[in-house]
Structure formats: C-alpha cells, structure tokens
C-alpha cells in the first residue's frame, strides 16, 4: 500500500501468484486483487492490510471492477473466456458469464447497470446486464484480426465507454455510445495503448501507451475526441489513474498559473501559484479565518488550520507563517459574486518528482476544486 500524501510504501501485503488487476470498494474498506497464476482473487482489508478472503475464480484472472454499490466484483478470466461475479458480502462466486475470447479489461457504468468487458482475442466488447448477468450486446471495436482491445473505462456521466485498442494498425481508442452500444469515434494514438482513464469532470481521457525506451500518455479531449497533448513517461506504461477531486462542494470553475523552482538540495524547493476559482451553485460561501484551507501542488500538500488566516467580512484574507518547516504566504481575495483569486508562495518545500502536467487541488472548508496545470519548471 502506498501513502498518497508522501508517496511512500507503508505496507506490503502477500497475495497470490502474479497479481494483476486491483479494485477498491466504494467505501474504501476492501481491495480486490486478481492473481493470474493462482486463479484466485485476494480480498484485502485496507484497515489492517491483511488478506481476509481468497476467492477461486476462472483461469488467468486479469481485470477486476467493483460495482458502485460495492455489492459485487466483476473479474475477467482470460484463460477461460468468462467473467466471475463475486458477492462481496460472502466473497463467493455467484455467477459466471461467458464472454468473448481472452477477456482483459472490465469497467462498470456509474449507475451499476452494465459491465463492459474487452475481449482481446475477439476484437470486441461484451456488455453485461448486471441485474441478470447476461451479455446483452457485443460491440465490434475494430476489424477482426487487425486489433486487440485491452483496457476500458466509462465516463462519469455513463454516456460513453473508452476502449484502448492495440494495433488498428498503430494503436487507437474506440469510443462507444452506451445508449446504442455502437462505436461513435476512433481516436488514433499510436503505439500500444494499454491503459485508459477519464477525469472526474469527464472532459479528458488519459491513455497509457507502451513504448521503449520511452512510453507516453496521450490526452484526449472527450468533446472533440482528438488528442490535445502527449506526455513522455517511462518505458512501457501499462496503466493510468486519475486523482479524484477533494471532498466537498465542487468549484464551478478553477484555473491556475504555476511556477516551480526545484533546488538541488532536498526541502528547499519553491513555488508561486496564481489562481482563480468560482464557488459552486450549492456553496454557502467560504470563511477562511474560521475554516481549514488545504492546498496541494503536485506531490506537495499542506493544510492551514482554522484561525490562521487574518481578515474579516469579505476579506481579503491573508496567511503568513511556517507549517511543517515550509514558509507559506497565502492570500484569498474576493473578485465578484462567489469568485475569488488565490495567490500562494512557498519556500523550503519538497516537490521532488513533480512533473508536468501538475495537479493543483484547493479546499476551503467544504468547498473544493482541482485543475491540471502546465507549470513553469526550473
């Protein structure tokens, strides 16, 4: 297990042989791990980080997804061409669904009504009705023999499934309309796409594309289904995940400019952030002097306790101090109805490992937002 705040390993849990896919229940209490060579799924209690159950499934389990209600886990079995459905209360297999040849990826729609399964050997996607555990549609995502679908994800609104395709002839992402279960777009990305994930706002899909010596991550604008950015990463990336936004009432808008100075010595990095945000329609406003304000810049995160900001009424609100050895100056100033500007400066911080694009998250009380920034890195 990795602590996301410090990016350090805090626990190592022995599971079965050659663990592959992993999915966490919506309440965060359990993780389901598919063990390819053991033909099992290990169930980990995330509080104690111990295996509390081992479920025997089909041959060569690879992908796993948990339904939004947390009641079932769907596991793709590449070697037996089926999907095992696990009841998470009893941790027993309650159904086995025959799908296409060599199923790999699986994703469940946000309403929990359907599971989308990529069949690498059949060049198609099986759509399972989760109420009956019957395949209700088979979607051909590429010409037979020309491609192999690998990973799949569903947009937060449930309207589209994004499928990573190996080949075709040089790597692509097929977009399925989940209402009609037809392919409505094909986005060339090149290479060997193996992982795909969509941002919480549904605006972008990130695709991990294997390659040597350097792989890449392509960013797809889901409105136009075009590649709008490509990020070089390490060799042969096989998966990609999106950091969820912080809890609370989401901002209706959040934009930022960021400068980062990375020092050769540890804990001597600096950053300067200029940002603006608009509170969501459901927000009852913010009051920084009485609320905690949390800021995350890439791998760096800090929380300014209630009572730390100076200012009254409508502000501006200012903080100047040291938290965990980091010198911080933060100012929040109203600029209109539910609109604010935030400027932050820090020195003696640790941003080692930060790369573009940089994730910026801000929370003030129960209001929060997240954005991705191409920073000026020095």
Average pLDDT score over residue span 290-304: 91
Percent of the chain with pLDDT over 70: 96
Instruction: Report how far Cα 321 is from the mean position of its chain's Cα atoms.
Output: 33
Averaged confidence pLDDT in the chain: 92
Q: What is the pLDDT of residues 148-183, one digit of tens each?
A: 899 999 999 999 999 999 886 689 999 999 999 999
Whether pLDDT at 143 is above 90: no
The 10s digit of each residue's pLDDT in 80-136 is 999 999 999 999 999 999 999 999 999 999 999 999 999 999 999 999 999 999 999
Residues 171 and 211 in one domain: yes
- Within this chain, do residues 311 and 267 fall inside the same structural domain, yes or no? yes
The last residue of a domain, from among 232, 257, 275: 232
Query: For residue 307, is it within any domain?
Result: yes
Does position 78 have pLDDT exceeding 70, yes or no?
yes
Do 6 and 138 fall into the same domain?
yes
Residue 8 CA to residue 6 CA, distance in Å, equals 5
Buried/exposed 75-104: b ≥16 CB within 10 Å, e otherwise: bbbbebbbbbbbebeebebebebebbebbb
Confidence at residue 354, expressed as pLDDT on a 0 to 100 scale: 83
**Alpha carbons 155 and 203: distance in angstroms, whole number:** 9
Tokens of 83: 């999907």
Domain that holds residue 289: 249-377
The terminus-to-terminus CA distance of the chain in angstroms comes to: 32
Q: What's the rounded mean pLDDT across residues 347-371?
A: 89
pTM score of the predicted model: 0.74
Q: What is the pLDDT of residue 360?
A: 92
Residue 187 belongs to a domain with what CATH number?
Answer: 2.130.10.10
**31-70 pLDDT, tens digit each:** 999 999 999 999 999 999 999 999 999 999 999 999 999 9
Burial 273-282 (b: 16+ CB within 10 A, else e): bebbbbbbee
- Alpha-carbon torsion 127, 160, 204, 215, what sign? positive
């Amino acid at each position: 297990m990795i602590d996301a705040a410090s990016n350090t390993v805090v626990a190592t849990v022995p599971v079965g042989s050659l663990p592959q896919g992993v999915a966490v229940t919506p309440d965060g209490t359990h993780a389901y791990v598919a063990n390819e060579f053991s033909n099992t799924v290990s169930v980990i209690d995330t509080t104690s980080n111990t295996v509390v159950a081992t479920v025997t499934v089909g041959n060569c389990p690879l992908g796993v997804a948990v339904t939004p209600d947390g009641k079932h886990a769907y596991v793709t079995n590449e070697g037996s061409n089926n999907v095992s459905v696990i009841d998470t209360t009893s941790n027993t297999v309650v159904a086995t669904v025959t799908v296409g040849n060599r199923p790999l990826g699986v994703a469940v729609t946000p309403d929990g009504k359907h599971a989308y399964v990529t069949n690498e050997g059949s060049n198609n996607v099986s759509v399972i009705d989760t109420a009956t555990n019957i395949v209700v549609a088979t979607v051909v995502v590429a010409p037979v023999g020309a491609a192999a679908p690998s990973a799949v994800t569903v947009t937060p609104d449930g309207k589209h499934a994004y499928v990573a395709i190996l080949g075709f002839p040089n790597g692509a992402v097929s977009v399925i309309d989940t209402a009609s279960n037809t392919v409505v777009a094909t986005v060339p990305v090149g290479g060997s796409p193996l992982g795909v994930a969509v941002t919480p706002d549904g605006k972008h899909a990130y695709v991990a594309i294997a390659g040597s010596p350097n792989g890449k991550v392509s960013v797809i604008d889901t409105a136009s289904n075009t590649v709008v950015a490509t990020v070089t990463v390490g060799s042969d990336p096989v998966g990609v995940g999106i950091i969820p936004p912080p809890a609370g009432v989401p901002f209706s808008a959040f934009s930022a400019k960021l400068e980062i100075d990375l020092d050769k010595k540890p804990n001597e990095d600096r950053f300067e952030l200029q940002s603006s945000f608009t509170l969501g329609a459901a927000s009852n406003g913010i009051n920084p002097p009485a609320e905690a304000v949390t800021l995350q810049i890439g791998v760096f995160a800090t929380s300014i306790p209630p009572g730390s900001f100076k200012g009254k009424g409508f502000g501006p609100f200012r903080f100047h101090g040291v938290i965990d050895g980091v010198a911080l100056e933060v100012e929040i100033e109203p600029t209109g109805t539910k609109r604010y500007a935030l400027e932050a400066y820090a020195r003696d911080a640790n941003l080692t490992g930060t790369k573009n694009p940089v994730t910026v998250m801000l929370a003030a009380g129960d209001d929060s937002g997240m954005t991705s920034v191409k920073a000026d890195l020095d």
